[in-house]
Amino acid sequence: MSQQLNLDVRETIEKLRKEVEHHRFQYYVLDSPEISDADFDVIFHELERLEKEHPQYFSPDSPTQKVGSAPSTEFLQVRHRVPLLSLANAMSEEDLDKWAERLGRGLELSEEQLKDLKYVCELKIDGLSIALTYKDGKFVEGATRGNGEVGEDVTHNLKTISALPKELSAQATTYSGGLLKVPDLLEVRGEVYMPVSSFTALNEALTDEGEATFANPRNAASGSLRQKDPRKTAKRKLSLFVYTAFVTDKEMVDPPNHYSELELLKLLGFPTESHSKVAVGIEEVKAFCRDIDSKRHSFDYQTDGVVVKLDQRSLWNALGATSHSPRWAIAFKYPPEEAETLLEDIQFDVGRTGAVTPVAILSPVKLAGTTVKRASLHNADQIRRLDVRVGDTVLVRKAGEIIPEVLSVKLDKRKDDSVPFQYPTTCPVCGHALAREGDEVAFRCPNTYGCPTQTKRRIEHFTSRDAMDIEGVGEVLVDLLVDQGLVRDVADLYRLDAEKLKGLKWKDKKSGEAGKEKQGSKWIENVLAALEASKNRPFSNFIHALGIRHIGSSGAELLADRFSSIDQLETATDEDILSIDGMGPAIAQSVNEFFQSDLTKKLIADLRSLGVQMKVSDSEIQARNAIEKTLTGKTFVLTGTMETLDRAAAEKMIKERGGKASGSVSKKTDFVVAGASAGSKLAKAQELGITVLDEAQFKELMGV
């Protein structure tokens, strides 16, 4: 090979290494991938191929020699006892055959023995890997993968996942691997994921609030698990499957094979994925992969492949691992599903806050298990970037196989008379001029109270489960009520009566035309009862229901903690709001603007006269007042992991007693509460001579 060519290869390798590093950073640290997994795999494999063909350019720093990306610095770091490896990929059945051949050679098996080799096939859950530590059956620490060696401590956030057992108990005394008990020390590995249903609901809520949505459940799970405030994680409805157990115990040993490992985990109370199966010989593995491919789109979790592992764990040691992945396992990956179709139109959805989102209207096309008729175009910038035009043939792909998106335009199929798409300058519903504030990506319709769609979505939000929880009053009924002039704002909901509801003309399901009255009166009774019951919802629900910009349900809780009635909240100054931990100037401004509006003032007066409770209830106040403000003026810093209290609960106790919880230790800190594996904050406290409390002492101080 000529000098020149070799130089080119080296440059290409360097360039690919940089690209891979960049995309890993986007994916693992920022939760914001710029390219699809499949495109990433192409770059990664090209780099691997070149490095293999040109071993003279080997570098231990190449991303092919490392797993994942550097951990983000926002959480405490945890060094994994056993590194978390990644998996090699099989992109085709042929790759599976090749892998089986390698196993045969590596283990020196005869053809017959290779045919009888046992594998465990399990779904490759598209979430993020985590390592969980249990001491004497208690969950004490959980960490993300990070770079495989060092991950992030996300213990508190993991505790909010209901599927994660906090305390183990053995549901039998033996299992197929021998003695069964709660091990002295147990490390469990698995995958945290966001169920597809929660993901869809989350993105709908984000769209309503005019916020950026997540591209797929994996990103949503990762973003949610790495929230600084565990309360936010708790709202995100994450779940978990586990697949690895490392046992350290006086009487028990590691399970002898992988299938028994899954059984052990199940009997200790962990969630394991139910499709896992033992396959004998690689042909059965392939059949499993095909079978799952035909079903996987109906599961409530995303699977992008099948993980195939040798069943017998002693063979794992015999085969070992490369720096990147074990030789005894492989990930069979399904190809991403894409389809070509005609872009018939570009329409616009208007959300509760006026955010206007472009939607591609497509000629129906089959894709990843469903018929796709609409796809996201994200925003005006995306339309410009793709130069997508009505009448184009476009390539659609399900990003993470959930929400279809327009990937690219087939320029060779573009019609001669096509014209660039003109992004509208006015609201498609009410005609008001659109606006874009600061660095916002979405255009908004500023006609907050005059735009009928915004009114409908605002009322629907008011009735939603996390808000006033008015069962039976959802999108369909709200649209009818507004369209037929019975409801103009949320106060009108409480002015509804049987007579008005009875006269409502319901839409014909087929024609979409408003037609007949609904039969029977049971539904009317139910709606009126639900409305009546909603008058006494907790104050935080009411604040959330108002739909103030930037105030979601956790913001509403913070406000309800600080202000106990609508009168107090209405008159709160910017300073009052800024004094709440976690509330910044944008929130203060938004709250104040909301309450200064004459329309809000009228709405609140109306709701008051209609009997809606807009305050913290007497019983809640009594409970709050019963706590003496013993810690007024005292500042606490919490660090490390406590056994029985999570951070949010501890912070609440401090605040209820008049104290403050802060994130960093300084001379002004009065107490540092140090749980297990406390690190630099504890050291700093000792250096500054600040009183350090352990968990028991903290609880004593709180009187609990």
State the catalytic residues. 124
Alpha carbons 329 and 309: distance in angstroms, whole number: 4
| C-alpha 580, offset from chain centre | 26
Q: Which is nearer to ligand IVH, 276 or 639 (CB)?
A: 276
Locate 244 and state its tokens. 């690895």
**Which uninterrupted H or E stretch holds 417?**
none
How would you classify the pairing of strands 691-693 and 671-674? Answer: parallel
Asked if 360 and 379 touch (Cβ cutoff 8 Å), the reply is no
Shortest approach of ligand IVH to residue 641 CB, angstroms?
23
Q: Which is nearer to ligand IVH, 244 or 669 (CB)?
A: 244
Shortest approach of ligand IVH to residue 329 CB, angstroms?
5
Gyration radius of the chain's alpha carbons: 29
- Residue 486 in 3-state DSSP? coil
The binding site for ligand IVH (CB under 6 A) comprises 85-87, 122, 124-125, 129, 191, 243, 307, 326, 329, 331
CB-based burial of residue 696 (10 Å sphere; 0-12 exposed, 13-18 middle, 19+ buried)? exposed
Alpha carbons 416 and 442: distance in angstroms, whole number: 31
* CA atoms within 13 A of residue 212's CA, in its CB half-sphere: 11
Residue nearest to ligand IVH (CB): 129
Q: Which is nearer to ligand IVH, 87 or 315 (CB)?
A: 87
Shortest approach of ligand IVH to residue 124 CB, angstroms?
4
Shortest approach of ligand IVH to residue 374 CB, angstroms?
30
Shortest approach of ligand IVH to residue 265 CB, angstroms?
12
CB-based burial of residue 283 (10 Å sphere; 0-12 exposed, 13-18 middle, 19+ buried)? middle
DSSP 652-689: HHHHHTT-EEESS--TT--EEEE-BT--HHHHHHHHHT
Q: Which is nearer to ligand IVH, 181 or 296 (CB)?
A: 296
Cβ within 8 Å of residue 589, ≥6 positions away:
574
Shortest approach of ligand IVH to residue 326 CB, angstroms?
5
> Would you give the DSSP letter of residue 478?
H
Q: Which is nearer to ligand IVH, 81 or 465 (CB)?
A: 81
Q: Which is nearer to ligand IVH, 133 or 207 (CB)?
A: 133
Asked if 427 and 434 touch (Cβ cutoff 8 Å), the reply is yes
DSSP 512-537: --B-PPPS-SHHHHHHHHHHHHHTT-
CB-based burial of residue 34 (10 Å sphere; 0-12 exposed, 13-18 middle, 19+ buried)? exposed
Q: Which is nearer to ligand IVH, 132 or 307 (CB)?
A: 307
Shortest approach of ligand IVH to residue 322 CB, angstroms?
11
